[in-house]
């Protein structure tokens, strides 16, 4: 089965009871037993739920994995991965990281004795400088948020293999439509399904996908033991989202390209961060590991004026000023005052999050309307 067919049919069976084409929403916490232990494979919904299982099979299918796990949020999925580790273990992680991931690593897991190295991975050989006998995991996010840096997954997987480390890739921005990390040698793929997978800004959910049975069993144990699962209603919505992932992503990419090119030619714009430009420092890697370049575009204005950036995001009419990304509707964010406001200016500026940086999640509206909106807002 090819990708587009997988989004619709991957891992799915028609409901055995009545043949319903969509899996029913099994809104139940528990399942009747005929005798103690005599059940039909389901005992309690933290452990298993048929609607969630249908979704987990779809996750596994679209990422070319064997086992999928669905969680109550992206961060709950990341939390489960780090719980594979022991006190004293070390993690080498991307530095330009989703803020919530950074907070989870530094504010929660650091105090349980896990050490994190946050480093620039645009040059993969840099990673080996931080590996020692305590290192257990490499955590990669690519493209990164909000600077759209690209990390070479295949080269990183080779390093992980050489040192017998796990490689986990946060594939939220790219989705399996654009890149499939398991095919490139990663061990774990993670998603905030809240974003492109759900695709309609109507749920919060996380996912993990792996190939290895042993690793899957350890993660299923953590999922059940820690309990951060998603409910059947949200599982249904995510399944419905996946069925249109390929056509949504195609349009996100087309509109993202149009917006990036418009901004690049605008006299008031200083820099545009989008991996599709040949001038992007890792364009060649993006081209090799991604099928297209996605709908996320960040930019700065000439003069780097904080108030001007605020005015632009306030002026936007079709783009909604909001956190999050990946929905059908276009969103705009101002990282310096929103997602990265808690990071001291000096720190955030080191990774490029300057005062005038604006991040766009380009939706699937008409391209002309999006460009007209940006034109009037930038002035």
Ligand X SMILES: *Cc1c(COP(=O)(O)O)cnc(C)c1O
Q: Which residues are near ligand X by CB under 6 A? A: 73-75, 98, 100-101, 141, 145, 170, 172-173, 192, 194-195, 204, 206
User: What ranges make up the beta strands (E) of the chain?
Assistant: 67-71, 90-94, 115-119, 135-141, 166-170, 188-192, 206-210, 269-273, 296-301, 320-321, 331-333, 358-361
Q: What is the dihedral of CA 362, 366, 369, 375, to 10 degrees?
A: 40
Q: How far is the CB of 213 from ligand X (least distance, A)?
A: 26
Catalytic residue among 170, 187, 292, 373: 170
Q: How far is the CB of 308 from ligand X (least distance, A)?
A: 26
State which H helix or E strand residue 148 sits in: none
In the numeric block, which tokens belong to residue 352? 């490029």
Are 160 and 182 contacting, i.e. CB atoms less than 8 angstroms apart?
A: no
Q: How far is the CB of 32 from ligand X (least distance, A)?
A: 33
In the complex with ligand X, which residue's Cβ is closer, 195 or 246?
Answer: 195
* Residue 111 annotated to the active site: no
Q: What are phi and psi of 47, to 5 degrees?
A: -80, -50
* Residue 195 annotated to the active site: yes
* Residue 115 annotated to the active site: no
Q: How far is the CB of 15 from ligand X (least distance, A)?
A: 28
In the complex with ligand X, which residue's Cβ is closer, 102 or 130?
Answer: 102
State the Cα–Cα distance between residues 165 and 162, nearest whole angstrom.
8
Q: Which residue in the shown chain puts its C-beta closest to ligand X?
A: 74
| Residue 167, beta-bridge partner list | 138
In the numeric block, which tokens belong to residue 262? 């418009």
In the complex with ligand X, which residue's Cβ is closer, 57 or 201?
Answer: 201
In the complex with ligand X, which residue's Cβ is closer, 139 or 262?
Answer: 139
* Residue 98 annotated to the active site: yes
Nearest partner of 149 among 170, 132, 164, judged by Cα: 170
Q: How far is the CB of 282 from ligand X (least distance, A)?
A: 17
In the complex with ligand X, which residue's Cβ is closer, 100 or 120?
Answer: 100
- Residues with a catalytic annotation lie at 46, 98, 170, 195
């Amino acid at each position: 089965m090819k990708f587009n067919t997988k989004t619709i049919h991957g891992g799915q069976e028609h409901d055995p009871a009545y043949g319903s084409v969509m899996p029913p929403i099994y809104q139940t916490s528990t399942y009747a037993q005929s005798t103690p232990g005599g059940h039909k494979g389901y005992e309690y919904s933290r452990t298993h739920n048929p609607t969630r299982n249908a979704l987990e099979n779809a996750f596994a299918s679209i990422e070319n994995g064997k086992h999928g796990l669905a969680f109550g949020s992206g961060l709950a999925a990341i939390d489960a991965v780090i719980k594979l580790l022991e006190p004293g273990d070390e993690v080498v992680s991307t530095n330009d990281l989703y803020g919530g991931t950074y907070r989870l690593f530094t504010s929660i897991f650091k105090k349980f004795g896990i050490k994190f190295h946050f480093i620039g991975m645009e040059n993969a050989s840099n990673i080996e400088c931080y590996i020692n006998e305590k290192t257990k995991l490499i955590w990669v996010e690519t493209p990164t948020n909000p600077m759209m840096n690209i990390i070479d997954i295949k080269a990183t997987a080779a390093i992980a293999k050489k040192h017998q480390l796990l490689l986990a890739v946060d594939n939220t921005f790219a989705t399996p439509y654009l890149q499939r990390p398991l095919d490139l040698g990663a061990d774990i793929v993670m998603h905030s399904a809240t974003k492109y997978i759900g695709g309609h800004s109507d749920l919060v959910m996380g996912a993990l996908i792996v190939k290895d049975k042993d690793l899957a069993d350890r993660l299923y144990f953590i999922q059940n033991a820690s309990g951060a699962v998603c409910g059947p209603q949200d599982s249904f919505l995510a399944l419905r989202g996946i069925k249109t992932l390929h056509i949504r992503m195609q349009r996100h990419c087309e509109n993202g390209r149009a917006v990036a090119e418009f901004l690049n030619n605008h006299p008031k714009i200083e820099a545009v961060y989008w991996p599709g430009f040949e001038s992007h420092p890792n364009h060649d890697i993006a081209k090799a590991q991604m099928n297209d370049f996605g709908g996320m575009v960040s930019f700065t204005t000439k003069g780097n004026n904080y108030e001007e950036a605020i005015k632009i995001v306030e002026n936007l009419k079709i783009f909604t000023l909001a956190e999050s990304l990946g929905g059908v509707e276009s969103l705009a964010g101002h990282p310096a005052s929103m997602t990265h406001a808690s990071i001291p200016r000096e720190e955030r500026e080191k990774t490029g999050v300057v005062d005038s940086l604006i991040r766009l999640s380009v939706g699937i509206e008409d391209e002309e309307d999006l460009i007209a909106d940006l034109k009037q807002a930038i002035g």
